[in-house]
Every structure is written in structure tokens, then in C-alpha cells.
Structure 1
Amino acid sequence: MTIQEIAEIAKVSKATVSLALNNKAGVSEETRNMILEIANKYGYNKKTSSNQKRNILFIKYIGSGAAIEQNGDFIATVIDAIEKTASNLGYNLIIKNIISSEFQMEIANIHFEDYTGVIFLGTEAHSEVVELLQDIPVPIVAVDNLFEKNDIDSVVMDNFGGIYKAVRYLISLGHKKIGYIDSTIKFSNFAHRVDAYYKSIKDFGLEKDQPVVCVTPNLEGAYIDMLKHLKQWKGEMPTAFLAANDTIAIGAVKALREVGLSIPDQISVMGFDDIPFCTMLDKTLTTIRVYKEKMGEIAVKLLHDKINSSEKEFVKILVRTNLIERESTAKKI
């Protein structure tokens, strides 16, 4: 007798059966008793904890792929930290990539009873996606997306604090016309960053009509789109640009140079994330460092605490960022 077979007899979902068998909340007493009666009648033997594998399922949600496949080593570094921390705590990490178009079907087919907990990489996910995960019968922690609308534990970088630091730094260099290079694809982190940019501009008393342009969030796309914006530019050029991430910043630098602008003598450029490519440019990129390893480590430790606790409270953890000053920014002359 399997959980699937019990679910078919009881005419409920596998998740409901697992909640009932594990004495978890979210199931009515009547349904729980019915499921337990079926399990006893047909001889279902729940695995004892000593025989259960301590497996963590890592779900990598892939939307467009732009943020997780085309942003240097960002995601790989987070995953490496998750795997290392999980191993140190005695867990096996099982990684499953799921594309957005197949997500609902794939989630329905996962045997969550085979796992102790789940870490969900939500970089490219939206709140409706998370709703499909909220009934799974094991603890879950999301990483790289705040999911502020959802009751789910999450660990993410401090997007607002990072952008605020960046704008304050550029102002300290004498820049008062600071453009922003946003992404055409509106991931959660990008949305928080552009909101922080507008709030920072207002808080620091800069003019409201600062230029904001949108580009495709990969190296080639950012270069092509930025070049098009520059060739059509009307009005005064900013003395500094802040980009939504380093990949966008690097593509923009190439475009700015192509139209004859010197970095940082004529225009300063700043990114966000601190990927390795930042130090490979002839003018190394000033950026906001995201502590990717710390995000992964905290996510696993938070999941470990949830696994070993009966508390139901949800936690949102922001990991602070740091300003890394390099050669792509300079004082306004």
C-alpha cells in the first residue's frame, strides 16, 4: 500500500494523505481519521525515522532563464553553499530543475514523503507559483525571492539597502544626474531594486526626471538595447548609470564605449551582485556585493530548524549587502 493508493481510495490528494499520516496541520479531523482507517485496513507501514533518508529536495524554477542561467556564477554559488551546508548537517541534496510550463504537473508528481524538506530557488518565480507549494507536507524555504505576498519562509539579499548604498555613493562622488538601467523582464529582485532606486532619488532630493532605460538582461541583449537607447538619446546624458545587475552593467559599458564615452572619465557605471566578470574588465566594475554563500547557508539552516520544530511562524530573512568600489566610477569633474 502506497500513499498514492491511499489517496485514490480516499479521493484526496497525496499531499493530504501525507499530512494526515505525519500528523500535520491542514487536514480536518474527519479526513484524517478516514485516511488513518484506510492505512490501517490495507496495511500501510510508515517508514520509521531511522530508515528514512535525510534528503532535501532543491527545486530550481526556470522561467526565461535570464536571471539564473545568464548572470555569471550567481546561482551556482548559491547552490554550492546550499549543498555544502546540507552535507555538514547530514542531509543529501537532490536537485530538480523544472521549467515554468511544466511546473504544476511536475509538482503534482513529486513524492514529497521521500524528502525531509524542500528548498525552492524562486529567482524567476512569482507569487502564484508559490501557492502551488504551500500544501506540500514537508517544510519548505524559498531562496532569492522575498515572496512578500506569501506565507513562506524565505531568504533573499537586501535589494533596497543595496540600491540605497549605491545611490548614496554616487551622490558622494558629485553625481546628481544618475540614470538607471533596468531589465525588460520583471523578476522580483529587479522590481525591488528599481523601486529602491526611485525611493532613493526622492529621499536624497534629486530631480525626479532621472532617466530610466530597460534592456534585455544578458550581456548581448544589454549591449544591443543600450546601444539603441544611446543612439536615440535626447537631452542631457547622465554622469552616472546604476544597473539592475552586473551583467546588464557590463553590456551597457560596451555600448557606452562604442558611442565614444570614456568610463569613468565621462560617465560612471555601477552594477549589482559582484559576479567574477566584474574584475575581468579593463576598468573593473564598481558594484554591490551580494553574499551568495551566506544566503545559501542561511536557507539550509532555516530549513533544518523548521524540520526540527513544530512552530508555524514564517520568517523572511534579508542578507545585507556591501559596496565594492572599483575603477568604473569616479568623482564628477
Structure 2
Amino acid sequence: MKVSIKQISQMTGFSPATVSNALNRKKGVNEETSRKIFKVAEELGYQTEKTITKIKFVTYRKNGRIIDDSLIFPAMIEGVERQAKELGYETAFSHLNYEDDAFQERLKEVLEDTNSLMILLGTEMMEEDYQPFMDYKGYMIVLDGWCEEMAFDGVLINNTDAACNAVEYLIENGHRRIGYLRGDYRIKAFQYREYGYYRTLGRHGLAEAPEYVVTLGTTLETAYEGMKAYLEEAPALPTAYFADNDVIALGAMRALEEKGIKIPNQVSIVGFDDIRFGSVSTPGLTTIHVHKQEMGEVAVRRALDHIRYSRRQVKMKIQVGTDFLVRGSVRNLDIEEAKGQERMEEVKWQLSN
């Protein structure tokens, strides 16, 4: 049971306001009073900003099929480290590799450290992977992941809304046959993006078309190889694809181009994440920009709220907004159709005159 300021007030005889001011090192509390309050607080196990000075960033690697090939996580880590430093906290790093023989030992070490505020990178974690953390005695917030039991605070991308916006953009550009490049490892983020894809199709009365859904590997090489094998079957192609992320999109683009299928003239593609390679690909990849550093910063601030407002135990799911970046990988079919009609009208006029 967490120790409250009210309990410390009752033990010391000082008012709750005086206790709060002392614990937060505000002016107006004399040194002797502060000393007594801190002594009782320490005996009761009350955690103050003085007792917790470190933020531990824990990377959970389930299989590396997402985080090993992505460039967005170093930016998240940078955001955590920068924000922690600005607020006077040091950052420690720990790596949990589920495939490592020493995983259980490393996990035990992480769970035994309750003197740090833990930020857990949950990108590759499935629901069952959170189970060992349920009895963690310290404070933990999940970054880029989510536990359905809502046992922890979480900071994640607004995946569903962002995916809806991407598919809406394709529809606005005249596309009605819209496919889905689906990652074969179904992390939580991909599941939410898939929901956004289908939700938007349904909203516009567009029929689901399983023949346009392609499941691919989640690295550049496996996405390329998977799309290459798929195209060997000479399938009917949609006019556009929404991809679970940029890595999958770029791998598929390479396979399409090698097959002689021009982007965006024959097939348009929208990615997700805005990794650096997407801005220099040919054509540039239209994508969803994720505020990576800001996500790390938000996680730090929320973690510190646990200290500053220790009596507020409500769990929060914080979704960070995204930006849509238009580059060259999407063709506007409505404009092309309008141009074609104009040409036809011009030919008709010339023939009639």
C-alpha cells in the first residue's frame, strides 16, 4: 500500500500542506521541520523525487522482426534521455532478449529494481509478454505498446486514426480498389492499423477484397522476397496499397518496380512511420510521420507524474498524434479521369467541326 502525505502528516503532527511543501522542497519550511518530515517519510517508505533519481529504459526484444530493422526507436530513446536530463534525472538502459538463454535472469534483475522509474519499450510485446510485469512493485510505463488489462500506463501512436486518415487520402484521390500490405508478425500497432484500414473501407461502402491483402515479412529483405513471390503468381492488383509500415512498403516497392509495375502510375502506396529511407526512395514514399522523440518525452513526464502526484493512481493510455506526409507514391485517379474526359470532349468537338 502506497504511503500518503496524510499518513505522514498524522505521524509528524505537521499539516498536510507543510508536509507536501517539505517533500517538494518548497520555500517556507524550516530545516528542522523538513528533517523530521523526511525522516518519517523514509521510515514509511514514501518515494520522493530525492529517493528516485533514475529512469530505466528497458527494451523488450521478442524476436527482433520489428525493432531490429526500424529506425524509429533510437529517436524514442533520444527523447527519453533528453527529457530526463532536462528534468534532472539520469537514464539507465537495459535490454531484454526473449531469445537469449539468459532472458529469465535478466528479467529477474529488471523486476527487482524498484528504485528506478521504468519505461518499457513494448513494440514487439504480445499480451502474454506483460504477465511477468504484473507483480512489479515499482512504477512502469509502456512505450509504443499496450496491455489490454490496462495494468500500466501507456504512451503509443494513434495507430487506428492514422491508418484511417491514410486510407481516406487514397479514397480522396479516386482509389476504390485499395489493398493492404500486412506484416506477418501481428504486433499491437499493426492490429490497430488493420482495424483502421477496414473501418475506413466500410465507412465508404467499399467491399473487403481478400485478394488484395498481401501478408509480408517485416524486414526490408523479407518484405521484398514475399512481394516478389506474390507477383510471380500474376495476381490482379489494386490501384493502391496501404502498408503496415515503411519497411514493408519499401520492400514491396522494390519488388513491384523489378516486375515493371510503375509507382505511382500503376500502383500507389502509403506507408507508416516516416523512416529516413522513405524520403529518398524513388518515388518518395507518402507516409505517416510519427513524433518519435516526443513520445519518449511524454513517457518521461508521465512517469514523473507518478512521483509528483503519488495519490493519483488512475492508469492512462496516452495516444500521440501523427502527421500525414504527401510525397510521390500516390497517383490522383480523379485528376487523370478528368483529363481523359477533357481529351475525349476535345476529340468529339474536333470531329463535329
TM class by shorter chain equals 0.7 to 0.9
Q: Which amino acid is the alignment partner of residue 86 of structure 1?
A: A
Where in structure 2 are the equivalents of 1:1-333 lying within 5 Å?
23=3, 52=51, 54-71=53-70, 73-101=71-99, 102-110=102-110, 112-113=112-113, 115-209=115-209, 211-234=212-235, 236-308=236-308, 309-332=310-333, 333=336
Asked if the contact 1:288/1:324 (under 8 Å) is kept, the reply is yes
CA distance in 1, matches of 2:59, 2:69: 14
CA distance in 1, matches of 2:66, 2:311: 34
Secondary structure at the counterpart of residue 155 of structure 2 = strand
Q: 1:90 to 1:227 in 2, by over 3 A?
A: same
Secondary structure at the counterpart of residue 226 of structure 2 = helix
Q: Which amino acid is the alignment partner of residue 79 of structure 1?
A: I
Structure 1 stretch 204-213 or stretch 223-232: which is displaced more? 204-213
Secondary structure at the counterpart of residue 66 of structure 2 = helix
Deviation at 1:47, TM superposition (A): 11
CA distance in 1, matches of 2:221, 2:45: 53
Structure 1, unaligned runs of 5 or more:
1-18, 25-43
Asked if the contact 2:96/2:103 (under 8 Å) is kept, the reply is yes
Deviations 1:55-94 (A, max 9, x none): 11111000111211101x2000000001101111111111
Deviation at 1:116, TM superposition (A): 3.0
Q: Which amino acid is the alignment partner of residue 105 of structure 2?
A: M
Asked if the contact 1:116/1:307 (under 8 Å) is kept, the reply is no
CA distance in 2, matches of 1:64, 1:227: 24
Q: Which amino acid is the alignment partner of residue 138 of structure 2?
A: V
CA distance in 2, matches of 1:113, 1:259: 53
Q: 1:147 to 1:64 in 2, by over 3 A?
A: same
Deviations 1:15-74 (A, max 9, x none): xxxx7xx759xxxxxxxxxxxxxxxxxxx9989968746011111000111211101x20
Deviation at 1:134, TM superposition (A): 2.4
Deviation at 1:107, TM superposition (A): 2.5
List, as ranges, runs of 4+ consecutive aligned residues in structure 1 with deviation greater than 3 Å: 44-53, 101-105, 110-114
Between the two proteins, what is the percent identity of the paired residues?
32
Deviation at 1:105, TM superposition (A): 3.4
Deviation at 1:233, TM superposition (A): 3.5
Secondary structure at the counterpart of residue 67 of structure 1 = coil
Asked if the contact 2:52/2:117 (under 8 Å) is kept, the reply is no
Structure 1 stretch 57-66 or stretch 105-114: which is displaced more? 105-114
Deviation at 1:199, TM superposition (A): 1.5
CA distance in 2, matches of 1:263, 1:107: 46
CA distance in 1, matches of 2:217, 2:3: 48
CA distance in 1, matches of 2:136, 2:323: 36
Q: 1:46 to 1:204 in 2, by over 3 A?
A: closer
Matched residue, 2:351:
none
Q: 1:286 to 1:51 in 2, by over 3 A?
A: closer
Secondary structure at the counterpart of residue 132 of structure 1 = helix
Structure 2, unaligned runs of 5 or more:
5-42, 337-353
Asked if the contact 1:55/1:114 (under 8 Å) is kept, the reply is no
Deviations 1:264-303 (A, max 9, x none): 1111111001111111112110001111112111111000
Asked if the contact 2:47/2:307 (under 8 Å) is kept, the reply is no
Matched residue, 1:33:
none
CA distance in 2, matches of 1:46, 1:148: 30
CA distance in 1, matches of 2:83, 2:54: 13
Q: 1:277 to 1:191 in 2, by over 3 A?
A: same
CA distance in 2, matches of 1:111, 1:133: 7
Taking structure 2 as the reference length, what is the TM-score of the superposition?
0.78
Asked if the contact 2:121/2:144 (under 8 Å) is kept, the reply is yes
CA distance in 1, matches of 2:276, 2:266: 25
Asked if the contact 2:123/2:188 (under 8 Å) is kept, the reply is yes
Asked if the contact 1:131/1:150 (under 8 Å) is kept, the reply is no
After superposition, the CA RMSD in angstroms is 2.2
Deviations 1:116-145 (A, max 9, x none): 311000000122222211222221110101
Deviation at 1:147, TM superposition (A): 2.0
Asked if the contact 2:163/2:196 (under 8 Å) is kept, the reply is yes
Q: Which amino acid is the alignment partner of residue 119 of structure 1?
A: I
Asked if the contact 1:53/1:114 (under 8 Å) is kept, the reply is no
Secondary structure at the counterpart of residue 69 of structure 1 = coil
CA distance in 2, matches of 1:175, 1:48: 56
